[in-house]
Every structure is written in structure tokens, then in C-alpha cells.
Amino acid sequence: MSQRMLSSVLRARPNVVLRRAATPALTIPQRFSSSDSHSQETFEQFSERYVAFFQGAQDLFEVQRGLNNCFAHDLVPSPGVVEAALRAARRVNDYATAVRVFEGVREKVENKQQYQAYLDELRPVREELGIDTKEDLYFS
């Protein structure tokens, strides 16, 4: 019986030591978020960041992820950002995404005149890349 008790005490003892070593004395929680570094970003910095992102995008996933992140902000992307996104969509050979960029712009602007201003400014790029809008493709 004493051997049994001794073996159970020895088995219990390392667990106590391990538990003490596993708990750190003091931990300070830190919050890491990709949006923290961009919280005080100006519109120009935002535009430069996304133009650079779309210029470096090499596959469809990156382009769509960038569009999702870009349009998630509470602002309308600049025509330079839209142009870079269009060129990236055509570079990865995805016509549907290029058309949807204009759908995203249409949803973000406040009125039809602003949307028309984007279309007018980006007309040379649309013609160069051969991109039609949804309105051009489907007569409703």
C-alpha cells in the first residue's frame, strides 16, 4: 500500500510543477489588427495604397480581396484606384470582375451624376481595355 501511495504522489508532483511553469507571471494583452495602422490615413494615402496594391496583384483572389477591402471603407475610391483595379482585373483575365468594379462604384456614389462623372473620366480606360458596364451589356 505504501508503494501505491508513493507512486501516486510522485505522479501528482510533476503535474503541479508543470502547471506552475505553464502560467506566466504577468501577461499584457496586445491587440493586432490590420486596420489599426490605417485608422488615421488621408484620402490621398488611401488612394496611393490601393493603387499600389492593385498594381502588384497577380491573381484573381488578390484582386477580389483588394476590391472587397477597398469598397468596405466609407468612401468612394478615386478614379485612379478604379483604373488600377480595372487594369488588375484585365491583367488576371477576369472580365466579370472588371464589370463589377463599375457596379461597386455605382453603389458607393450618392447620385447618378457622380456615377456618370466616373464613367466619363474612365471612358478612355474602358475603351482601351474593352470593358462595358452592366448597363451597356443588359438593356433594362
pLDDT at residue 124 is higher than 70:
yes
Predicted confidence at residue 135, as pLDDT, reads: 87
Neighbours of 80 (CB within 10 A): 15
The closest of 68, 43, 72 to 54, measured between CA atoms, is 68
Residue whose entry in the numeric block shows the C-alpha cell 443588359:
138
Predicted confidence at residue 138, as pLDDT, reads: 82
At 55-108, the pLDDT tens digits run 999 999 999 999 999 999 999 999 999 999 999 999 999 999 999 999 999 999
Q: Where are the beta strands (DSSP E) in 31-138?
A: none
Residue whose entry in the numeric block shows the C-alpha cell 508503494:
3
Cell numbers for 35, please give them: 486596420
Predicted confidence at residue 112, as pLDDT, reads: 93
At 33-42, the pLDDT tens digits run 455 555 688 9
Confidence band for 31, pLDDT divided at 50, 70 and 90: very low
Q: Work out the burial of residue 84: count CB atoms within 10 Å of its CB; fewer than 13 is exposed, 13-18 middle, 19 or more buried.
A: buried
Confidence band for 13, pLDDT divided at 50, 70 and 90: low
Predicted confidence at residue 11, as pLDDT, reads: 61
Q: Quick check: pTM over 0.85?
A: no
Confidence band for 32, pLDDT divided at 50, 70 and 90: very low
Predicted confidence at residue 139, as pLDDT, reads: 72
